[in-house]
A = this chain, B = another copy of it.
Amino acid sequence: MAEPEVCIYEVGPRDGLQNEPDALPTTAKLELIDRLARAGLRRIEVTSFVSPEWIPQLADGDALCAALQERPGTRYSALVPNARGYERFRAARVLSMAAVFISVSETHNRKNVNRSVAEHLERLRSVAERCRADGVPLRAYVSTAFGCVYEGAVAATRVAKLARELLDLGAAEISLGDTVGIGHPSGVRDVLEAVAGEVPLKRIALHLHDTYGRGLANLQAGYEAGVRVFDASLGGLGGCPYAPGAAGNVATEDVVSLFETAGVATGVDLEALVSASHWLEGTVLGRALPSRVYRARLGARARKARSGG
């Protein structure tokens, strides 16, 4: 397999599962992560050390990490919302990257963590300092980077300023999120142009949602602007649970298929992803995953089976 030209950062076990209605058994999560790693995904965000009261779906983070198998070449990360979360992160020795989050939108940030953006940035400083002291690389998620349901359009200069502040705080990677999927390609280009003036694009990842079907259009705009790290979720896991069939994170299958078709190597085995989604959907989840590529490949497999091929 060709040397990957882009990196797909798998968020299904964390961002995907935290948006599913029911918690999965820890054993199912372990199999999911194992299947993802075997499919060739080299970076997997496995859980969040948030309070179990807030996100019961990820309450088993400590047990999960204790049971997680180390794999050469695969890096596991976890979301660390605060100093208490960082203690749990440190105890989980299998993890090699911590992630924090903050919104560009004041309203979204306040609804999320009940603090202003500036106050929240100060809180993140303590986690960032612990990471630096321990030699742990830090990933920072920037929510609402391409628009906000509460505030509407978000100025590109504000995203660039916050990205710069996170870089100064010590973030090794900054993942710009289209939290509700309302971004569009020219908006993505505008934001990346502003951000590139403050932060090298090799430090930038894109975390796109496919809510309105333009996840890959936005991803393509980001790729053409120079971004090479893209967050994705197996099968589109985590699609909006209160809107049946609605999509959340761009699906890993859809991202891999787009790149590979265009001749851009991902290092990921698409058929292994499809098999993982099929296992997850049928054995664990009990509902249809929204990935377009997954559904089309499943249809193709069924036709092949019927024709005896």
Interface set of A (CB-CB < 8 Å, partner B): 181-182, 184-187, 210-217, 219-221, 240, 242-247, 251, 254, 257-258, 261-262, 288, 290-293, 295-296, 298-300, 302-303
Complex A-B: 9 CB contacts under 8 Å:
A182-B261, A184-B262, A212-B292, A212-B293, A213-B216, A242-B303, A243-B299, A243-B302, A245-B295
The distance in angstroms between the C-alpha atoms of A184 and B223, with both chains bound, is 13
B211 touches A292 (CB 8 A): yes
A184 touches B243 (CB 8 A): no
- Give the Cβ gap from A144 to chain B, nearest Cβ, in Å: 15
Q: Taking the full assembly, how many copies of this chain does it contain?
A: 2
Not counting A185-B262, A214-B257, a sample of 19 additional A-B residue pairs whose C-beta atoms are within 8 angstroms of each other reads A182-B261, A185-B220, A211-B296, A212-B257, A212-B293, A213-B216, A213-B257, A214-B216, A214-B217, A214-B254, A217-B258, A220-B221, A242-B302, A243-B299, A243-B302, A244-B288, A245-B245, A246-B292, A247-B296
Q: 9 smallest A-B Cβ distances: which pairs?
A: A243-B299, A213-B292, A213-B254, A217-B217, A184-B262, A216-B217, A245-B295, A246-B295, A217-B220
Partner of A258 from B211, B212, B257 at Cβ < 8 Å: B212
Most buried by B among A242, A244, A296, A300: A296
- Give the Cβ gap from A135 to chain B, nearest Cβ, in Å: 39
Complex interface: chain B residues within 8 A of A298 (CB) = 243
Closest residue of B by beta carbon distance from A299: B243
- Give the Cβ gap from A160 to chain B, nearest Cβ, in Å: 20
Complex interface: chain B residues within 8 A of A254 (CB) = 212-214
Partner of A243 from B182, B219, B257, B295 at Cβ < 8 Å: B295
- Give the Cβ gap from A189 to chain B, nearest Cβ, in Å: 10
Closest residue of B by beta carbon distance from A180: B296
The distance in angstroms between the C-alpha atoms of A187 and B299, with both chains bound, is 25
Most buried by B among A213, A243, A290, A295: A213
The distance in angstroms between the C-alpha atoms of A112 and B159, with both chains bound, is 51
The distance in angstroms between the C-alpha atoms of A212 and B262, with both chains bound, is 13
- Give the Cβ gap from A117 to chain B, nearest Cβ, in Å: 24
B184 touches A293 (CB 8 A): no
- In the complex where A184-B258, A262-B187 touch, is A296 in contact with B216 (Cβ < 8 A)? no
A296 touches B221 (CB 8 A): no
Closest residue of B by beta carbon distance from A243: B299
Partner of A246 from B187, B240, B299 at Cβ < 8 Å: B299
Closest residue of B by beta carbon distance from A255: B213
B213 touches A251 (CB 8 A): yes
- In the complex where A254-B212, A261-B184 touch, is A296 in contact with B240 (Cβ < 8 A)? yes
A293 touches B242 (CB 8 A): no
Partner of A214 from B181, B182, B187, B258 at Cβ < 8 Å: B258
- Give the Cβ gap from A176 to chain B, nearest Cβ, in Å: 17
The distance in angstroms between the C-alpha atoms of A303 and B149, with both chains bound, is 14
Complex interface: chain B residues within 8 A of A258 (CB) = 184, 212-214, 217
